[in-house]
Structure 1
Amino acid sequence: MSGTMIGVIGGSGVYDLDTLTDRTWVAVETPWGTPSDQILTGTLDGVPMAFLPRHGRGHVHSPSTVPYRANIDALKRLGVTDVISVSACGSFREEMAPGDFVVVDQFIDRTFAREKSFFGTGCVAHVSVAHPTCPRLGAACLAAARDAGITVHEGGTYLAMEGPQFSTLAESRMYRESWGADVIGMTNMPEAKLAREAELCYASVAMVTDYDSWHPDHGAVEITDIVRVLTGNADKARALVSRLPALLGAGRAPCPHGCDRALDHALLTAPDRRDPALMARLDAVAGRLV
């Protein structure tokens, strides 16, 4: 049994994790560039943790410019084993109201302007993302949310759009009625795919801020309304995260769902044909295989 290290990627409105003890902001360099910000490290209930503000402190990165590969590599390089994504989202479901949380278990990826893989020419790999989140980690997030008194929904499909603009009314109706999406956001893809390539357990907690533009009684999405809900959601997110160490524990057995072995049969390029330069960049992500 190895040790647990929890990594939290904080979305809009969540730029710090003040519950950590022995807090230190550390700069991590990666072969994929500089992460969104320095990473806050510390401990909580005896479990090491790392916190990365996805957009950077002060919200300097748009959804399209977030350095997703550098962020995931940096967390893996620090020793993170379990990643919890916390992000703002719009809702396509009446029952998933602003202020509610959704523990997402599926994604529809509509992003197009982002690097989506650590692998490529010189080392080809195909991982499965049929089930893109870790059920064990998602269950812990669900339990933590309920314990914190948060209205939380178990399971949901997250439509990842490119942004930064919000949906048109026609898009919102299509995503809701034809595609069956439950929530919409701009940041969980390719983050979830990269976490799987890096053999990290990944769970997504989507914090509802609005009803997108489909709802006849709520009209278009207004950023002022979103910001107002974000403040309350950020406090709830910190309450949820603060309960995770006790639920996950300091010791860690292999993931029962195989997240930490996702690359076992994924690399297709023959060892003697692999690009040494790319393999060097994969030292943290796929170090056990390269």
Structure 2
Amino acid sequence: MAPSIKVGIIGGTGMDNPDILKNRTEKEVTTPFGYPSDKLILGEIGGVPCVLLARHGRKHNILPHQVNYRANIWALKQEGCTQIIVSTATGSLREDYKPGDLVILNNFIDNTHGRHQTFYDGSCNALEGICHIPMEPPYCEKLRQVIIKTAEKLGIFCHSSGTIIAVNGPRFSSKAESLMFRQWGADVISMTTCPEVVLAKEAGISYAGVALVTDYDCWKPNTEHVSHELVLKIFNDNIGKVVKLICASVENMMKEDWSQKIQENEEFVKKSIWT
């Protein structure tokens, strides 16, 4: 049995349903970086304490570039979360990553701008110095493998790796941009991965992402181009398996010993801070 762990779950489009938690309570919190996107939903999945946070707010009224990512990650850290699993709707930049497929992300390209990328910028007096956090690997491999193995046991098809490119939004890509991102080597595209993945690393929290492919962006000929309606339709049609995979993965996490990984994360951050 693993030592005490607490799992943060950040829901993308369609994943902000608090009913997946048992014994749920709501908690309004603030952080040195302001308020998170919504109240925290506390509860359990298979006996594992969890904290659910709606990335865009439960009314889905926060645009991707307006999400307070620092407050979101810090709120989960304040609550003692040792791991974070997120879901995100993505467009595909590859022929073989089809709408409805799941991708367990393992790398990213940041094409956003104007977003706060660090906690260590002097805005919080309790955090001294500058943090030059290494970002390889950006996603926790131990946590990724739990999710991949869980998908295999459930018979849920998923791609075991994928590079995601984060764009600022809220608009979708032009065709020229979409073709360029393909040349860059990105597999899928979204608007919310960065700086979320960076801040989780800086906070010393293991982070993994489950991406649901909803469309082919706009690069692929003779297919329906991405639109808000298309994203919602495909996501709503497939949200059940996303929820099933995340919940089962949380339960399977308790079969692992996380003590060494938690300690490694804490030491990793300490070594990255220059004072």
TM-score bin, normalised by smaller chain: over 0.9
Please say if residues 118 and 131 of structure 2, whose CA atoms lie closer than 8 Å, have aligned partners that are also in contact. Answer: no
Seq. identity, %: 39
1:217 to 194, 200, 222: 222
SS in 1 for 2:198: helix
SS in 1 for 2:273: coil
What's the offset of the Cα at 1:257?
9.6
Aligned counterparts of 1:230 and 1:219: Cα–Cα separation in 2:
15
| TM-score (ref. length: structure 1) | 0.88
Deviations 1:228-285 (A, max 9, x none): 111123222210111023211076322189334321211111xxxxxxxxxxxxxxxx
More helix by share: 2
What's the offset of the Cα at 1:136?
0.5
Question: What does 1:114-125 correspond to in 2, within 5 Å?
Answer: 114-121=115-122, 123-125=129-131
The reply on whether 1:108 has 2:113 as its aligned counterpart is no
Moved more, 116-125 or 104-113: 116-125
The reply on whether 1:266 has 2:267 as its aligned counterpart is no
Deviations 1:33-73 (A, max 9, x none): 00000011111222101110100001011100111000000
List alignment gaps of at least 5 residues for structure 2: 123-127
Question: What does 1:211-290 correspond to in 2, within 5 Å?
Answer: 211-249=216-254, 252-255=258-261, 258-269=264-275
Please say if residues 73 and 199 of structure 2, whose CA atoms lie closer than 8 Å, have aligned partners that are also in contact. Answer: yes
1:172 to 168, 178, 191: 178
Aligned counterparts of 2:232 and 2:9: Cα–Cα separation in 1:
21
| TM-score (ref. length: structure 2) | 0.93
The reply on whether 1:130 has 2:109 as its aligned counterpart is no
Aligned counterparts of 2:218 and 2:263: Cα–Cα separation in 1:
36
The reply on whether 1:155 has 2:161 as its aligned counterpart is yes
List alignment gaps of at least 5 residues for structure 1: 270-290
Aligned counterparts of 1:4 and 1:260: Cα–Cα separation in 2:
14
Deviations 1:102-154 (A, max 9, x none): 00100000000211100124521111102100001111121223333322001
Q: Tell me which residue corresponds to 2:39.
A: 38
